[in-house]
């Protein structure tokens, strides 16, 4: 018979520097059905510079598209491009945050994660730079009662778009360094 499973606290005492692992086991009717689920997460990822940049991309990216979405942006086709880029990369960045925190990349070794990260961050940097430039060049004052609100929101979104672009540039650099060390 296998040894009894250790509790999470016992595992943490034996390996204090490893990520936390919680294991559950259930059985039904004399071992006719049993399943084991393992969930691990990386507590230290958000303390690294790439983790901090990823959080900044999420928070600032959210600001960019919500500032634009609160205006009558649909009257200006250029803001459609900005909204596409910002919402698309915001969703993907949240997805990557979940992958990094839950350490899913360790469970799918067939995927070249360093290459995926480099392609994602590189494309995000290039497309966000184009969206930030379009955003900044599309900020105009109009002569109607919405103009003050639209102008302020668009100007703020433009500022935050350039900040997000800088964050993606930083993560592109870290992804390149990681990719270069693996090849």
Q: Report CA torsion sign: 162, 67, 57, 104.
A: negative
Per-residue pLDDT tens for 74-130?
Answer: 888 999 999 999 999 999 999 999 999 999 888 999 999 999 999 999 999 999 999
Burial class (CB in 10 A: 0-12, 13-18, 19+), 73: buried
Per-residue pLDDT tens for 9-53?
Answer: 333 334 444 455 544 454 444 444 444 456 678 889 999 999 999
pTM: 0.75
Cα–Cα dist 159/51, whole Å: 22
Cα–Cα dist 83/72, whole Å: 12
């Amino acid at each position: 018979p296998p040894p009894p499973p250790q509790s999470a606290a016992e595992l943490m005492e034996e390996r204090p520097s490893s990520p936390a692992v919680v294991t559950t086991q259930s059985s039904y009717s004399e071992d006719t059905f049993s399943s084991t689920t393992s969930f691990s997460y990386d507590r230290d990822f958000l303390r690294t510079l790439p983790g901090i940049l990823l959080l900044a991309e999420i928070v600032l990216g959210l600001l960019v598209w919500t500032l634009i979405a609160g205006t009558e942006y649909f009257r200006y086709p250029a803001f459609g491009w900005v909204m596409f880029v910002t919402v698309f990369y915001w969703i993907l960045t949240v997805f990557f945050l979940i992958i990094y925190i839950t350490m899913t990349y360790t469970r799918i070794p067939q995927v070249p994660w360093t290459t995926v990260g480099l392609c994602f961050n590189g494309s995000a940097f290039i497309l966000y730079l184009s969206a930030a430039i379009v955003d900044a060049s599309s900020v105009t004052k109009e002569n109607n009662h919405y103009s003050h609100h639209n102008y302020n929101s668009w100007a703020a979104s433009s500022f935050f778009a350039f900040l997000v672009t800088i964050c993606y540039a930083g993560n592109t650099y870290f992804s390149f360094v990681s990719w270069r060390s693996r090849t």
